[in-house]
Structure 1
Amino acid sequence: MTTLVSGGAGYVGSHTVAALHAAGRDVVVLDDFSNARRGAVGELRLLTTPDLAVVEGDAADRAAVRELCDEHDFDSIVHFAAHKSVPESFADPLRYYRNNLLSTLCLAEIAVERGIDRFVFSSSAVVYGTPEQLPVSEETPAAPQSPYGTTKLMCERILADTAASSAMQAVILRYFNPVGAHPSGRIGEQPITAGQNLVPAVMRVALGALSRLQIFGNDYDTRDGTAVRDFVHVTDLAEGHVAALDADLGTRRSRVFNLGTGAGTTVRELVAATEAVTGRPIPCEIVGRRPGDIAESWADCSRAEAELGWSAQRDLGQMLADHWRFASACAEISV
């Protein structure tokens, strides 16, 4: 069993590569390193195998992907490679449509062409927009509120339609808010481009790299006025991708699954939990809401538990402790 993992040097991708290796699968990583550090490859090889195949290239490059398929007998594809910032997608939507759609089209076409029968897609809860009810189930109508979310939903539809007309089965994983790091401390979230994800920003404040945390809005209709999110450990997400590859879909051509914990945490609650884990204060500054932000979102994961045999095993304290271990080690190296 050999799996092609696009974007496999990135945050969730690298953890999934480690989980796939632990599950006995051979893995080939394809990554253009536009938002992943090459140094992560060495750490990933220490966690997997020294000869882990890592190819630098664009998942939208048909010639490059076909060449990989000539060299390896893939039975599955896990597709992570995408731009993924909501604010950035408002600033440069065409970049998001071009990259996210073309990479998915290329991999889907070649999966059909080469008879690769399982395609797992890294989607996102952003496709739901402002949910009509909570918790969010897979039946909740999709209504993305950003170009990024729209590209994810369009990719989902591309894969579902492709699966309906071919031998390929598509598993679409809508995961909520990934945090944490590998328990070894070797890999974690370390993007090249400056992101606006909450937990990395909180950690930077704890490390002294930022003077204060910007909280985008405190006037939401929530228990403390700040936004509520479902934070899930990146290792749990990685294990969800292994379960998706192994799942028996029966006659279904495609299937959507939420991956989260099923619990919501406010921004203020997460700040307090981080202070408890790190033993350091997190000064905060309230600023205006950002385009595309919503008040509350957490997952109903009962379908994944029933059909994939998957549920999140790690709580918020472990997520933050693992994230802090990795962030602290990175800070020590950079000094």
Structure 2
Amino acid sequence: MSDVTYILVTGGVGYIGSHIVVELVNAGYTPVIIDIFANAVKATDNGRPVVIERMEKIVDKQLIYHDIDILNKSALDDLFAKYSFYAVIHLAGLKAMRESINMPIEFYKVNVFGTLNIVECMKEHGVNNLMFSSSGSVYGTPQYLPIDEKHAVGGCLTPYGKSKYFIEEILRDVSKAEKNWNIILFRYFNPVGSHKSGLIGEDPRATNLMSYVAQVAIGRKPHLSVFGGDYDTHDGTGVRDYVHVVDLALGHIAALKQFTTKGGLKIYNLGSGKECSVLDMVRGMEKASGKKIPYKIVDRKDGDVGSSYSDATLIQTELGWKPEKNYEEMFEDLWRWQKNNPEGYETANSI
């Protein structure tokens, strides 16, 4: 590795992006963050995003960041002209699955067109190494379990999932046409937890299970609504695959070594490969927090499936990555973040 190896991280102040940036620095890379800072409130005296200062505290190093929208092709061109990027980790985009049902045009515009802008800039500036944050939602309703990378894709249940699937197809075509490109598609399952420091974590306004659970534990929500209690699972509630966000971030570090082999497209599930129900997650958070988490069983949501979890064998075999953190650490780290930052970065202070 040269003295400075620049890695562009789009969406680098988001939940997953911030943890990837920290691990990139720890591994000796120099991340260049772009984001629109929608969830990283500029609350410091000098107007800098709190999340940037939090990350800098963790890595004890000043970070490079730019306020750039991936829909702004001109600004992206200027950025690519300024830095000689070794690789791009593309995370930026809209991600709320339920919201995408009501806002499909916006999701397709940001996620698909934004990715096309990134890919065009990469081609124009001779950058051929790309990691894309796809999603386990591209598999749709599981045809078998656990889900491996050979499972059929495209039967997506939301516009969010479809946008990820469409981008995957675009990148497949790019790989076929551009033989010198290295592309890795990571199909994320459900990241949970936070950095051990409790300085960075997920915005509590996120519309996923554990954000709600944590908000109930801290007393900001009265109870959790559990959608469906009659699935064919061990306790009747939905079963999913959860992975610690730091483990997920480390998967990207392992994958950077893959780019030493020139050419081709690889697909990896990034999950724990373990199945855990909604009520299992509630009980785990109760233990970590010492708080009772009230819940109510309500009707299923349209499009939800009873069980969905990954086979993560391929990434373990080819990249030597496997989850290192157990579920207990996941809950403890999430609770530390939630307890110290009940409103996330919204009212957070400088460190």
Q: Secondary structure of the equivalent of 2:341?
A: helix
1:26 corresponds to: 30
1:144 aligns with 2:156: yes
8 Å contact kept, 1:86–1:292: no
> Which amino acid is 1:288 matched to?
D
Equivalenced residue count is: 333
Q: Secondary structure of the equivalent of 1:140?
A: coil
Give the whole-Å Cα distance in 2 for the aligned partners of 1:244 and 1:61.
28
1:222 aligns with 2:233: yes
8 Å contact kept, 1:78–1:120: yes
Give the whole-Å Cα distance in 1 for the aligned partners of 2:261 and 2:50.
40
Give the whole-Å Cα distance in 2 for the aligned partners of 1:260 and 1:155.
20
1:168 aligns with 2:172: no
Give the whole-Å Cα distance in 2 for the aligned partners of 1:136 and 1:303.
11
Q: Percent identity?
A: 38
Q: Secondary structure of the equivalent of 1:59?
A: coil
Match of 1:52 among 63, 71, 77: 63
Give the whole-Å Cα distance in 1 for the aligned partners of 2:268 and 2:102.
30
Q: CA deviation at 1:286?
A: 1.5
1:315 corresponds to: 326
8 Å contact kept, 1:160–1:253: no
> Which amino acid is 1:184 matched to?
S
Give the whole-Å Cα distance in 2 for the aligned partners of 1:164 and 1:251.
13
8 Å contact kept, 2:16–2:245: yes
8 Å contact kept, 1:228–1:265: yes
8 Å contact kept, 2:181–2:262: no
2:272 corresponds to: 261
2:171 corresponds to: 159
Question: TM-score, normalization: structure 2?
Answer: 0.91
8 Å contact kept, 2:240–2:277: yes
Q: CA deviation at 1:251?
A: 5.8
1:182 corresponds to: 195
Structure 2 unaligned regions, length at least 5: 42-48
Question: TM-score, normalization: structure 1?
Answer: 0.96
1:10 aligns with 2:22: no
> Which amino acid is 1:273 matched to?
G
Q: CA deviation at 1:249?
A: 7.2
8 Å contact kept, 1:179–1:232: yes
2:44 corresponds to: none
1:288 aligns with 2:299: yes
- Give the direction of change, closer, same or farther, for the CA distance of 1:332–1:149 in structure 2 (3 Å limit): closer
1:199 aligns with 2:210: yes
8 Å contact kept, 2:240–2:309: yes
1:115 aligns with 2:120: no
8 Å contact kept, 1:130–1:295: no
Give the whole-Å Cα distance in 2 for the aligned partners of 1:81 and 1:332.
22
Give the whole-Å Cα distance in 2 for the aligned partners of 1:207 and 1:268.
18
Give the whole-Å Cα distance in 1 for the aligned partners of 2:28 and 2:262.
26
Q: CA deviation at 1:35?
A: 3.6
Q: Deviations over 1:146-186 (max 9, x none)?
A: 11000001111111211221222110000100000001111
Q: Secondary structure of the equivalent of 1:247?
A: helix
Q: CA deviation at 1:50?
A: 4.0
Give the whole-Å Cα distance in 1 for the aligned partners of 2:93 and 2:311.
25
Q: Secondary structure of the equivalent of 1:75?
A: strand
8 Å contact kept, 2:212–2:224: yes
8 Å contact kept, 1:87–1:292: no
Q: CA deviation at 1:126?
A: 0.7
8 Å contact kept, 2:156–2:162: yes
Give the whole-Å Cα distance in 2 for the aligned partners of 1:302 and 1:236.
15
The RMSD of aligned alpha carbons is: 1.6
Give the whole-Å Cα distance in 2 for the aligned partners of 1:281 and 1:161.
50
Q: CA deviation at 1:260?
A: 0.8
> Which amino acid is 1:9 matched to?
V
Structure 1 unaligned regions, length at least 5: none
Mean Cα deviation higher: 292-301 or 321-330: 292-301
Q: CA deviation at 1:332?
A: 8.8
